[in-house]
Amino acid sequence: MKYEDMVAKQTKILEASSIEIKKISEEIHEKLIKVRRRFHKHPELGMDTYKTAEYIMNYLKQLNIEVTHIANRSGVIGLIRGKKQIDPDNNEIEKTIALRADIDALSVFEENQCNYKSEIPGVMHACGHDFHTTCLLGAAETLNRLKDSFSGNIKLLFQPGEESLGGAATMLEEGALNNPDVSVCAALHAWPDIPVGKVAVKYGAAFSAIENFKITVTGKGGHGAVPHKTVDPIVIGCNIVNALQTIVSREVDSFEPAIVSICSFNAGTSVNIIPDISVIGGTIRTFDTNLKKFIEKTIFNISEGIAKAMGAGIQIEFTNDSPPVINDEKITKLFISSASRMIGEDNVIISDRPSMVSEDFALIAEKVPSVYFWLGCRNEEKGIINPLHSSKFQGDEDCIKVGTAVFAQFALDYLNQNYIK
C-alpha cells in the first residue's frame, strides 16, 4: 500500500473514531454521573484513598483493562494496549501516552444539600477530583472500545495525595511512567470560572510552583497583666506578618508573578496568658526558581531580624513542594487540535494567563512532555458558581462528557499523529 493511500485510510479511521467517541461519551454519560456521585459521597483524604482505589480497580477490571495497585494500594494504574500497526518503513509503532487523574479529597465540611452529599464529616470533594476521576474512567471505557483503531498503549494514572503534595512523587518513585515507558502525559482540572462545554489551555507555564513555610517565634510567656515581664511572641509574630506583606509589593518586579500569603497564625490558649510561642504558616507561589530563592531568603532575613530585635528566638522551615507546571508547546498544539475537533474551535480557549494554584502534576511534566488543561464546569443558570475549595463547590455534570471525549480524542490523536496532517 502506498503511503498516501495509508494516510487516506487512516484519516477515515480517525474521522470515524471521532464520531464514535462522541457517541460513546453520550451513551455512558448517565452511568458516569452515578459514578461521580458515588465518589462525591465517599471522599477520602491524601494517601488514604484505599476504597476509592478499590472501586476504580473493579471498574477497570469489568472492562477487561489491565490494572495494578500502586502507592501502597491507594492508587491505580490501568493499561490499554492498542492494536499494533506498522509505519511506511515497516517498523512497528509502539508509543505510550498516559492520562492522569487525582483522586483525593479535601478537609472541608460540605454545605451542599443533595442526595449525594459527603457522608464523611469534614471531608469533601471540594476541588473537583471526583470529576477528574470520572472523566478518566469514561475515557478509559471509550478508548478500550476503540483499541482496534490505534497503535501503542494508553496508561491510566489514578493518583492519590495531590492535595497533600506527595502523590505524584510516590507514583514516580514506584515506576508509574515505566513498563511500558510513557512518552507523553495529559491531565485536566475542573474549573468553575469557565462555562461548561468549554475547555481552556495555555502554552508554557500553566500552574505556579509552590513552597510552604513555617515560622516559629519563641518568646517568654507570662501573665497578660504584666506584659513588660514577657517577650510576647504574638506581637512579634504580628510584626513579622505585616513585614512579609511588603516582599511582593516592594522587593519583586511588578511584572513578575509572585505571591506570599500567610494562611495560619497559631498562639495562645487563654485570654489572660501570654504564650511562649507563636507559629506562622504561609505559602510562596512563583514561576521562576531564582525568584523563589530570593523570596525565601527575604522571608528569612525579615523574620530573623524582627525576632532578634524584639528579643525572641526564631526557627524557619521551608518545604520545597512542587515546581511549576509547564505545558509542552508541541503537545499543547496537538491538544488544541484534538479538543477543537471534538467540541468545536469556539469552545477551546487559549489562555494567556497562568494560574497561581499549584499542582504536583508538575513532577510528571518534568519527566515527559505534557499538557494540563482546564475543564469548564460553571453554569450560572443552575447556580453552579462557587469556587474551588469552597464548602459549596459543585460542577455542572455535563462537563463529564466533555472531559471524557476530549481526553479520549487527544490520546487517540497522539498515538496516530504520524497520519495527522
pLDDT digits (tens, 9 = 90+) for 2-57: 656 555 656 666 666 889 999 999 999 999 999 999 999 999 999 999 999 999 99
210-235 exposure pattern, b = at least 16 Cβ within 10 A, e = fewer: bbbbebbbbbebbeeeeeeebbbbbb
Checking if the pLDDT of 385 tops 60, the result is: yes
pLDDT at residue 416, rounded to an integer: 86
pLDDT at residue 17, rounded to an integer: 81
Rounded CA-CA distance 309/307 in Å is: 6
Contact 373, 199 (CB under 8 A): yes
Virtual torsion, Cα 151, 156, 162, 167, nearest 10 deg: -100
C-alpha cell at 421: 496532517
User: Per-residue pLDDT tens for 251-297?
Assistant: 999 999 999 999 999 999 999 999 999 999 999 999 998 999 999 99
pLDDT at residue 419, rounded to an integer: 47
Dihedral pair phi/psi, residue 414, rounded to 5°? -60, -45
C-alpha cell at 268: 495562645
Confidence of residue 415 (pLDDT cuts 50, 70, 90): very high
Domain with CATH 3.40.630.10 in the chain: 3-208+324-419
Average pLDDT over residues 413-420: 74
Contact 82, 95 (CB under 8 A): no
Contact 376, 194 (CB under 8 A): yes
| The CATH number, out of the four listed (3.30.70.3270, 3.30.420.40, 3.10.20.30, 3.40.630.10), of the domain defined by the range 3-208+324-419 | 3.40.630.10
Domain with CATH 3.30.70.360 in the chain: 209-322
Average pLDDT over residues 207-211: 94
Radius of gyration for the chain, computed over Cα atoms and rounded to the nearest angstrom = 24
Checking if the pLDDT of 379 tops 90, the result is: yes
The CATH architecture to which 209-322 belongs is: 2-Layer Sandwich (3.30)
pLDDT at residue 1, rounded to an integer: 56
* pTM over the 0.85 mark: yes
pLDDT at residue 421, rounded to an integer: 41
User: Per-residue pLDDT tens for 172-206?
Assistant: 999 999 999 999 999 999 999 999 999 999 999 99
The angle subtended at Cα 104 by Cα 103 and Cα 106, nearest 5°, is: 145
pLDDT at residue 87, rounded to an integer: 53
92-101, 106-115, 138-147 — which is least confidently predicted? Answer: 92-101
At what angle are helices 129-145 and 50-62 packed, to 10 degrees?
A: 20
Calculate what percentage of the chain has a pLDDT beyond 70. 93
Average pLDDT over residues 377-387: 97
Average pLDDT over residues 85-93: 54
Checking if the pLDDT of 67 tops 80, the result is: yes
The angle subtended at Cα 258 by Cα 200 and Cα 191, nearest 5°, is: 25
320: nearest Cα among 279, 354, 283: 283
